[in-house]
């Protein structure tokens, strides 16, 4: 499970946002390793407003980490 994420460095904030989503999905995967169960649960939260907000809170937390790792892409300005 350790080869999937060689670096937190991305070219742009947009790519950093994609990585934050990926990190969020991995955390779910590590808690519920069964793909079938995850597939069953996905529509449950993707169509529930409060679950969507909670999921985007996890993404926001990971985005903060990725942004810090990239020194907020200041050099790319």
Contacting positions for its own copies (CB under 8 A): 1-9, 11-15, 17-18, 20-21, 23-24, 26-28, 30-32, 37, 41-42, 44-65, 67-69, 72-74, 76-77
Measured between alpha carbons, how far is residue 72 from residues 8, 51, 58, 76 in Å? Answer: 12, 28, 19, 9
- For the CB of residue 11, give the shortest distance to its own copies in the complex, in Å: 8
3-state secondary structure of 53: helix
- For the CB of residue 39, give the shortest distance to its own copies in the complex, in Å: 12
- For the CB of residue 19, give the shortest distance to its own copies in the complex, in Å: 10
What's the full length of the chain, in residues?
77
């Amino acid at each position: 499970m350790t080869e999937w994420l060689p670096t937190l460095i991305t070219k742009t904030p947009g790519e950093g946002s994609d990585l934050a989503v990926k990190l969020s999905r991995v955390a779910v995967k590590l808690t519920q390793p069964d793909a079938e169960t995850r597939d069953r649960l996905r529509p449950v939260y993707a169509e529930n407003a409060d679950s969507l907000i909670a999921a985007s809170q996890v993404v926001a937390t990971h985005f903060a980490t990725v942004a810090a790792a990239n020194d907020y892409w200041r050099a790319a300005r």
